[in-house]
Amino acid sequence: MSDPFPTRLVIKLGTSVLTAGTDRLNRPYMVGLARQVAALREHGTQVLLVSSGAVAAGRERMGAAPGQRARGSVPLKQMLAAVGQSRLMHLYEQFFEIYGLQVAQALLTRDDLRDRQRYLNARNTLLLCLERGIVPIVNENDAVVTAEIRVGDNDNLSAMVAGLIDADLLLILTDIAGLYSADPRSDPAATLIAEVPVIDERIWAMAGGAGTARGTGGMRTKIQAADLATRAGTAVVVASGAEPDSILRVAAGERLGTRFSATGSHLDSRKRWILAETARQSRLVVDAGAVAALVSQGKSLLPAGVAAVEGDFDRGQTIRIYAPDGREVARGLTQYRAADVRAISGLRSAQIAETLGYDYGPEVVHRDDMVVLI
């Protein structure tokens, strides 16, 4: 019988998990985490952590009163992150050293994933750490990040990192047992969903709002992360971090929490990068002819096939492309900004230059810059 343990595992740890719902980092939990990672290494599993907790560590170090929050003050949050990041890493280093493991810190922003060269540099660094038996610990660079370059939450960051390193499994540990049919905090009839083969509108409807006061992520961000990771070929499990040995149990194949099946195969490097940078609130709706050209004929998206433009985006961003019936057809790098696409939608490619006064080519999205999703 083959070993069920994954070859490469990304574990996302929320603040509520690392603090066990308190205002302090939970040292015994972090020691147990190190113990489980060491056990996984014995099974040949390479492990990467995406860890929240820097702001909580900074708040603890600065002696903030219990219950005091940094909410609403970006400079205060960034100051706490700057203080707390080194403290968080120091604790990880101490606890992992007990089990003979070395850790490495990697701080990322959306710009690191948006820029092709920086994306590849981050991938090479993380893969080399894993090959050398080092446990990379990734977090968003909260001390310097701005709204324009924020990933926004570590759930989605973990999915991007899972795609970045071709992980087999992404385990998102949180303060809830998994995805429920309704909010279990308000609906006693809510039931845990053990398996999600496909993320459809029914699954999105089950997502609630924001998470706890200590964290930033709710179930919706976890479904967003699962959607991104599964499309890139990584299975996802959302489970309670409070369950004893939850990491080892999930890695060994135990059905814990909610499992989202991978819906695609591992993508090549460029397509992983395209999926990692998506203008979330922006999309193009294309006509039926364009859908057929993209899906069945392997064609690029031309302005003639664009029926509607929603939201705002810049040239070079990844945008979502939808069919008239609401299905997401593809994602790809747009050659034109939103205002330009609105101006040329429905036109022949030969009319782009006369309409805009310039052109960046005949395609809105070139086939080489596109990932087809159906």
- State CA 55 to chain mean position distance: 20
Strand order in the sheet with 318-322: 306-310, 278-286, 318-322, 328-334, 365-372
- E-strand ranges in 64-154 read 103-108, 135-140
Q: Are residues 170 and 80 in the same domain?
A: yes
Q: Are residues 149 and 293 in the same domain?
A: no
Residue 1 covered by a domain: no
Domain limits for position 353: 278-372
Give the CATH number, domain containing residue 183. Answer: 3.40.1160.10
Residue 114 covered by a domain: yes
Cα-based torsion angle of the residue sequence 301, 303, 307, 311 in order, rounded to the nearest 10 degrees = 90
Q: Are residues 61 and 176 in the same domain?
A: yes
Q: Each residue's pLDDT tens digit in the chain (374 positions)? A: 456 899 999 999 989 999 988 889 999 999 999 999 999 999 999 999 999 888 889 888 887 654 455 455 777 888 888 899 999 999 999 999 999 999 999 988 777 777 777 887 888 899 999 999 999 999 887 655 554 434 457 888 899 899 889 899 999 999 889 999 887 878 888 899 999 999 888 888 887 544 444 333 478 889 989 988 898 889 999 999 999 999 999 999 999 999 999 887 666 656 777 776 665 678 999 999 999 999 999 999 999 999 999 999 888 888 999 999 999 999 998 999 999 999 999 999 999 999 999 999 999 999 888 989 88
Residue 2 covered by a domain: no
Q: Are residues 183 and 223 in the same domain?
A: yes
Q: What is the structure's pLDDT at 280?
A: 63
Residue 260 covered by a domain: yes
Q: Are residues 225 and 146 in the same domain?
A: yes
Residue 261 covered by a domain: yes
The domain boundary, picked from 242, 271, 300, lies at: 271
Q: Are residues 175 and 55 in the same domain?
A: yes
Burial class (CB in 10 A: 0-12, 13-18, 19+), 4: exposed
Q: What is the structure's pLDDT at 316?
A: 80
Question: Which among 325, 323, 319, 324 is positioned nearest to 363, based on CA atoms?
Answer: 319
53 Rama class: left (phi>0) / alpha (psi -120 to 50) / beta: left
Q: Are residues 211 and 286 in the same domain?
A: no
Q: Are residues 359 and 227 in the same domain?
A: no
Burial class (CB in 10 A: 0-12, 13-18, 19+), 240: middle
The domain boundary, picked from 256, 271, 286, lies at: 271
Residue 26 covered by a domain: yes
Q: How many domains does the chain have?
A: 2
Q: Are residues 261 and 312 in the same domain?
A: no
Strand partners, 51: 13
Cα-based torsion angle of the residue sequence 291, 296, 301, 302 in order, rounded to the nearest 10 degrees = -90
Question: Which among 288, 267, 299 is positioned nearest to 368, based on CA atoms?
Answer: 299
The domain boundary, picked from 271, 287, 309, lies at: 271
Q: Are residues 139 and 195 in the same domain?
A: yes
Give the CATH number, domain containing residue 311. Answer: 2.30.130.10
Residue 57 covered by a domain: yes
Residue 295 covered by a domain: yes
Q: Are residues 285 and 312 in the same domain?
A: yes
Q: Are residues 254 and 292 in the same domain?
A: no
81 Rama class: left (phi>0) / alpha (psi -120 to 50) / beta: alpha
- E-strand ranges in the chain read 8-13, 46-51, 103-108, 135-140, 169-174, 195-196, 235-240, 258-260, 278-286, 306-310, 318-322, 328-334, 365-372
